[in-house]
Structure 1
Amino acid sequence: MATNGGYTLWITDNLLHASIHGVWNKRIATAFKRDFMETASTLINAPWAHVVYLDKWVLGTPEIEPLIKELGVWCAEHQLVCAAHIYCHNMLKEYQLNKMLKNDDNLFQLQHFTSQEAAQQWLRSNNFYFTEQDFPAISNS
Protein backbone atom coordinates (compact mmCIF):
# COMPACT_ATOMS: atom_id res chain seq x y z
CA MET A 1 0.00 0.00 0.00
CA ALA A 2 1.30 3.44 -0.93
CA THR A 3 1.77 5.74 2.03
CA ASN A 4 3.42 8.79 0.51
CA GLY A 5 0.82 10.66 -1.46
CA GLY A 6 1.28 11.90 -4.96
CA TYR A 7 -0.33 12.42 -8.33
CA THR A 8 0.19 12.57 -12.06
CA LEU A 9 -1.67 15.04 -14.30
CA TRP A 10 -2.00 14.95 -18.08
CA ILE A 11 -4.30 16.26 -20.79
CA THR A 12 -5.89 14.55 -23.78
CA ASP A 13 -8.04 16.77 -25.98
CA ASN A 14 -10.46 18.54 -23.62
CA LEU A 15 -9.98 16.16 -20.68
CA LEU A 16 -7.72 16.64 -17.69
CA HIS A 17 -6.69 13.29 -16.21
CA ALA A 18 -5.37 12.81 -12.69
CA SER A 19 -3.98 9.62 -11.21
CA ILE A 20 -3.91 9.91 -7.42
CA HIS A 21 -2.06 7.67 -4.96
CA GLY A 22 -1.15 7.29 -1.31
CA VAL A 23 -2.21 9.25 1.75
CA TRP A 24 -2.73 12.96 1.18
CA ASN A 25 -1.90 15.77 3.57
CA LYS A 26 -2.11 19.55 3.28
CA ARG A 27 1.28 19.84 1.55
CA ILE A 28 0.33 17.39 -1.20
CA ALA A 29 -3.16 18.86 -1.64
CA THR A 30 -1.71 22.37 -1.93
CA ALA A 31 0.77 21.25 -4.60
CA PHE A 32 -1.98 19.35 -6.42
CA LYS A 33 -4.29 22.37 -6.42
CA ARG A 34 -1.53 24.59 -7.82
CA ASP A 35 -0.44 22.07 -10.48
CA PHE A 36 -4.03 21.22 -11.40
CA MET A 37 -4.94 24.88 -11.97
CA GLU A 38 -1.77 25.43 -14.00
CA THR A 39 -2.41 22.34 -16.14
CA ALA A 40 -6.11 23.14 -16.59
CA SER A 41 -5.35 26.70 -17.69
CA THR A 42 -4.98 25.46 -21.27
CA LEU A 43 -8.54 24.06 -21.18
CA ILE A 44 -10.59 26.75 -19.45
CA ASN A 45 -11.60 28.74 -22.53
CA ALA A 46 -14.08 26.02 -23.52
CA PRO A 47 -16.07 23.31 -21.72
CA TRP A 48 -13.84 20.51 -20.39
CA ALA A 49 -14.01 17.36 -18.30
CA HIS A 50 -11.91 15.78 -15.57
CA VAL A 51 -11.17 12.08 -14.99
CA VAL A 52 -9.66 10.99 -11.67
CA TYR A 53 -8.16 7.53 -11.14
CA LEU A 54 -8.44 6.88 -7.40
CA ASP A 55 -7.80 3.15 -6.88
CA LYS A 56 -4.32 3.86 -5.47
CA TRP A 57 -5.47 6.77 -3.30
CA VAL A 58 -5.69 5.81 0.37
CA LEU A 59 -7.46 8.85 1.89
CA GLY A 60 -6.63 12.36 2.98
CA THR A 61 -6.22 14.13 6.29
CA PRO A 62 -9.08 16.51 7.16
CA GLU A 63 -6.94 19.55 6.29
CA ILE A 64 -7.08 18.69 2.57
CA GLU A 65 -10.86 19.06 2.45
CA PRO A 66 -11.11 22.88 2.20
CA LEU A 67 -8.37 22.93 -0.45
CA ILE A 68 -10.19 20.41 -2.63
CA LYS A 69 -13.51 22.24 -2.09
CA GLU A 70 -11.85 25.46 -3.30
CA LEU A 71 -10.49 23.64 -6.32
CA GLY A 72 -13.98 22.33 -7.13
CA VAL A 73 -15.37 25.87 -7.08
CA TRP A 74 -12.49 27.08 -9.26
CA CYS A 75 -13.22 24.29 -11.76
CA ALA A 76 -16.90 25.22 -11.95
CA GLU A 77 -16.00 28.87 -12.48
CA HIS A 78 -13.69 27.83 -15.33
CA GLN A 79 -16.10 25.76 -17.45
CA LEU A 80 -15.65 22.26 -16.01
CA VAL A 81 -18.71 20.34 -17.18
CA CYS A 82 -18.14 16.75 -16.02
CA ALA A 83 -15.94 14.98 -13.49
CA ALA A 84 -15.61 11.19 -13.36
CA HIS A 85 -14.08 9.50 -10.32
CA ILE A 86 -12.94 5.93 -10.99
CA TYR A 87 -12.21 3.54 -8.11
CA CYS A 88 -13.24 0.16 -6.73
CA HIS A 89 -16.16 0.56 -4.37
CA ASN A 90 -14.93 1.96 -1.06
CA MET A 91 -17.35 3.65 1.32
CA LEU A 92 -14.63 5.68 3.07
CA LYS A 93 -13.32 7.09 -0.21
CA GLU A 94 -16.83 7.85 -1.37
CA TYR A 95 -17.62 9.59 1.93
CA GLN A 96 -14.53 11.81 1.85
CA LEU A 97 -14.89 12.61 -1.85
CA ASN A 98 -18.54 13.56 -1.42
CA LYS A 99 -17.68 15.65 1.64
CA MET A 100 -15.09 17.60 -0.35
CA LEU A 101 -16.97 17.87 -3.62
CA LYS A 102 -20.61 17.85 -2.55
CA ASN A 103 -22.43 19.03 -5.60
CA ASP A 104 -25.57 20.58 -4.11
CA ASP A 105 -25.08 23.72 -6.15
CA ASN A 106 -24.87 21.74 -9.41
CA LEU A 107 -21.51 23.33 -10.11
CA PHE A 108 -20.70 20.51 -12.54
CA GLN A 109 -21.78 16.91 -13.08
CA LEU A 110 -19.89 14.53 -10.81
CA GLN A 111 -20.19 10.75 -11.05
CA HIS A 112 -18.41 7.87 -9.32
CA PHE A 113 -17.58 4.74 -11.32
CA THR A 114 -16.08 1.36 -10.51
CA SER A 115 -14.79 0.83 -14.05
CA GLN A 116 -13.01 2.89 -16.62
CA GLU A 117 -15.40 1.62 -19.29
CA ALA A 118 -18.44 2.98 -17.44
CA ALA A 119 -16.73 6.35 -16.98
CA GLN A 120 -15.79 6.42 -20.67
CA GLN A 121 -19.37 5.70 -21.67
CA TRP A 122 -20.74 8.46 -19.42
CA LEU A 123 -18.17 10.99 -20.63
CA ARG A 124 -18.85 10.00 -24.24
CA SER A 125 -22.56 10.72 -23.67
CA ASN A 126 -21.46 14.23 -22.67
CA ASN A 127 -19.20 14.62 -25.75
CA PHE A 128 -15.87 13.96 -24.02
CA TYR A 129 -13.75 11.14 -25.42
CA PHE A 130 -10.68 9.17 -24.38
CA THR A 131 -9.19 5.78 -25.21
CA GLU A 132 -6.88 3.23 -23.61
CA GLN A 133 -3.89 4.96 -25.21
CA ASP A 134 -4.72 8.21 -23.42
CA PHE A 135 -3.54 7.13 -19.98
CA PRO A 136 -0.05 5.63 -19.99
CA ALA A 137 0.80 7.56 -16.83
CA ILE A 138 -1.44 5.43 -14.59
CA SER A 139 0.97 2.54 -14.39
CA ASN A 140 3.72 4.90 -13.22
CA SER A 141 1.78 6.23 -10.23
Structure 2
Amino acid sequence: MSAYFNVKIDGQVVVINTLGQWSEQVALSFEKEMHRVVPNVSATRFAHLVSFDEWELSTPSVAPIVRRVVGWCVSQGMCVAAEVFSANVLKEYLINKATEEVKDHVTIRRFSSESDARKWLAEMGFETQTTQQLPT
Protein backbone atom coordinates (compact mmCIF):
# COMPACT_ATOMS: atom_id res chain seq x y z
CA MET A 1 0.00 0.00 0.00
CA SER A 2 1.33 3.43 -0.84
CA ALA A 3 1.57 6.23 1.70
CA TYR A 4 -0.80 9.14 1.33
CA PHE A 5 -2.26 12.11 3.14
CA ASN A 6 -5.00 14.62 2.48
CA VAL A 7 -5.20 18.02 4.17
CA LYS A 8 -8.20 20.33 3.84
CA ILE A 9 -9.91 23.11 5.74
CA ASP A 10 -13.46 22.71 7.04
CA GLY A 11 -14.43 25.90 8.86
CA GLN A 12 -11.91 26.40 11.68
CA VAL A 13 -10.77 22.78 11.46
CA VAL A 14 -7.81 21.41 9.53
CA VAL A 15 -8.90 17.90 8.51
CA ILE A 16 -6.08 15.43 7.92
CA ASN A 17 -6.41 11.88 6.62
CA THR A 18 -3.38 9.60 6.67
CA LEU A 19 -2.87 6.31 4.86
CA GLY A 20 -0.12 3.74 4.56
CA GLN A 21 3.39 3.60 5.95
CA TRP A 22 5.07 6.99 5.92
CA SER A 23 8.65 7.52 4.81
CA GLU A 24 10.76 10.61 5.43
CA GLN A 25 9.86 11.87 1.94
CA VAL A 26 6.12 11.55 2.62
CA ALA A 27 6.56 13.37 5.94
CA LEU A 28 8.45 16.20 4.24
CA SER A 29 5.68 16.48 1.62
CA PHE A 30 3.14 16.57 4.45
CA GLU A 31 5.09 19.36 6.17
CA LYS A 32 5.12 21.37 2.94
CA GLU A 33 1.37 20.86 2.47
CA MET A 34 0.63 21.92 6.05
CA HIS A 35 2.66 25.11 5.54
CA ARG A 36 0.58 25.76 2.42
CA VAL A 37 -2.86 24.98 3.91
CA VAL A 38 -2.79 26.20 7.53
CA PRO A 39 -2.28 29.92 6.74
CA ASN A 40 -5.61 29.76 4.87
CA VAL A 41 -7.59 29.03 8.05
CA SER A 42 -9.70 32.14 8.58
CA ALA A 43 -9.31 32.22 12.36
CA THR A 44 -6.57 32.92 14.87
CA ARG A 45 -7.43 29.69 16.72
CA PHE A 46 -8.10 26.43 14.96
CA ALA A 47 -8.44 22.70 15.53
CA HIS A 48 -7.07 19.55 13.94
CA LEU A 49 -9.12 16.51 13.08
CA VAL A 50 -6.68 13.73 12.22
CA SER A 51 -7.65 10.24 11.07
CA PHE A 52 -4.98 7.64 11.79
CA ASP A 53 -7.16 4.58 11.10
CA GLU A 54 -5.52 3.82 7.74
CA TRP A 55 -2.05 4.92 8.82
CA GLU A 56 0.37 2.00 8.96
CA LEU A 57 3.04 3.66 11.09
CA SER A 58 6.28 5.16 9.78
CA THR A 59 10.03 4.96 9.57
CA PRO A 60 11.99 6.45 12.52
CA SER A 61 13.08 9.47 10.46
CA VAL A 62 9.45 10.65 10.32
CA ALA A 63 9.10 11.40 14.06
CA PRO A 64 11.17 14.60 14.21
CA ILE A 65 9.42 15.97 11.12
CA VAL A 66 5.98 15.32 12.58
CA ARG A 67 7.01 16.88 15.92
CA ARG A 68 8.21 19.94 14.01
CA VAL A 69 4.90 20.20 12.11
CA VAL A 70 2.85 19.83 15.29
CA GLY A 71 4.93 22.50 17.06
CA TRP A 72 4.58 24.83 14.09
CA CYS A 73 0.80 24.30 14.03
CA VAL A 74 0.59 25.26 17.71
CA SER A 75 2.60 28.42 16.96
CA GLN A 76 0.04 29.20 14.22
CA GLY A 77 -2.96 28.88 16.57
CA MET A 78 -3.86 25.20 16.82
CA CYS A 79 -5.36 24.72 20.28
CA VAL A 80 -7.54 21.60 19.96
CA ALA A 81 -6.90 18.24 18.30
CA ALA A 82 -9.22 15.29 17.75
CA GLU A 83 -7.40 12.10 16.79
CA VAL A 84 -9.36 9.21 15.29
CA PHE A 85 -8.11 5.63 15.33
CA SER A 86 -9.06 2.20 16.62
CA ALA A 87 -7.24 0.96 19.69
CA ASN A 88 -3.62 0.24 18.79
CA VAL A 89 -0.88 0.42 21.41
CA LEU A 90 1.94 1.13 18.96
CA LYS A 91 0.02 3.90 17.16
CA GLU A 92 -0.89 5.43 20.50
CA TYR A 93 2.75 5.37 21.62
CA LEU A 94 4.00 7.00 18.40
CA ILE A 95 1.27 9.65 18.42
CA ASN A 96 2.02 10.41 22.08
CA LYS A 97 5.69 10.90 21.19
CA ALA A 98 4.74 13.27 18.36
CA THR A 99 2.59 15.45 20.62
CA GLU A 100 4.42 15.29 23.98
CA GLU A 101 6.14 18.66 23.48
CA VAL A 102 2.83 20.51 22.91
CA LYS A 103 0.45 18.69 25.24
CA ASP A 104 0.42 21.63 27.67
CA HIS A 105 -0.73 23.98 24.88
CA VAL A 106 -3.30 21.82 23.05
CA THR A 107 -6.39 19.98 24.23
CA ILE A 108 -6.16 16.51 22.65
CA ARG A 109 -8.86 13.84 22.66
CA ARG A 110 -8.96 10.47 20.94
CA PHE A 111 -11.97 8.87 19.32
CA SER A 112 -12.81 5.64 17.56
CA SER A 113 -15.24 7.38 15.18
CA GLU A 114 -14.97 10.54 13.13
CA SER A 115 -18.55 11.56 13.89
CA ASP A 116 -17.84 11.52 17.65
CA ALA A 117 -14.67 13.54 17.05
CA ARG A 118 -16.60 16.13 15.01
CA LYS A 119 -19.30 16.40 17.68
CA TRP A 120 -16.63 17.01 20.33
CA LEU A 121 -14.93 19.63 18.17
CA ALA A 122 -18.29 21.40 17.79
CA GLU A 123 -18.71 21.33 21.59
CA MET A 124 -15.26 22.92 21.84
CA GLY A 125 -16.39 25.70 19.49
CA PHE A 126 -14.99 24.32 16.23
CA GLU A 127 -18.01 23.55 14.07
CA THR A 128 -17.50 22.00 10.65
CA GLN A 129 -19.80 21.71 7.64
CA THR A 130 -20.00 17.98 8.30
CA THR A 131 -20.95 18.56 11.96
CA GLN A 132 -23.94 20.58 10.84
CA GLN A 133 -25.20 17.52 8.92
CA LEU A 134 -24.76 14.96 11.75
CA PRO A 135 -27.85 13.71 13.59
CA THR A 136 -28.03 14.85 17.21
Q: Decide: shared fold, TM above 0.5.
A: yes
For 1:104 and 1:40, locate their aligned partners in 2 and report how far apart those are by CA, in whole Å: 17
Q: Per-residue deviation at 1:100?
A: 1.2
1:69 partnered with 2:67: yes
Q: Per-residue deviation at 1:29?
A: 0.3
Q: Deviations over 1:26-82 (max 9, x none)?
A: 000000011012100112751111101111100011110000111111111111011
Matched residues, number: 132
For 1:44 and 1:90, locate their aligned partners in 2 and report how far apart those are by CA, in whole Å: 34
Of 33, 39, 42, which residue of structure 1 is paired with 2:40? 42
Going from structure 1 to structure 2, the CA distance change for 1:105 and 1:112 (only over 3 Å counts) comes to closer
For 1:39 and 1:5, locate their aligned partners in 2 and report how far apart those are by CA, in whole Å: 19
1:118 partnered with 2:116: yes
For 2:109 and 2:13, locate their aligned partners in 1 and report how far apart those are by CA, in whole Å: 15
Which runs of 5 or more residues in structure 1 are unaligned?
A: 135-141
Does structure 2 conserve the Cα–Cα contact (< 8 Å) formed by 1:73 and 1:107?
A: no
Q: Per-residue deviation at 1:101?
A: 1.2
2:50: which partner in 1? 52
The residue matched to 1:62 in structure 2 has which SS? Answer: coil
1:5: which partner in 2? 3
Going from structure 1 to structure 2, the CA distance change for 1:4 and 1:118 (only over 3 Å counts) comes to same
For 1:44 and 1:69, locate their aligned partners in 2 and report how far apart those are by CA, in whole Å: 24
* CA RMSD in angstroms, aligned pairs only: 1.9
Letter of the 1:8 partner, please give it. Answer: N
For 1:66 and 1:28, locate their aligned partners in 2 and report how far apart those are by CA, in whole Å: 13
Does structure 2 conserve the Cα–Cα contact (< 8 Å) formed by 1:76 and 1:107?
A: yes
1:100: which partner in 2? 98
Going from structure 1 to structure 2, the CA distance change for 1:125 and 1:118 (only over 3 Å counts) comes to same
Taking only the aligned residue pairs, the percentage that are identical comes to 25
Which runs of 5 or more residues in structure 2 are unaligned?
A: none
Q: Deviations over 1:93-139 (max 9, x none)?
A: 111111111156512112211112321222112101121689xxxxx
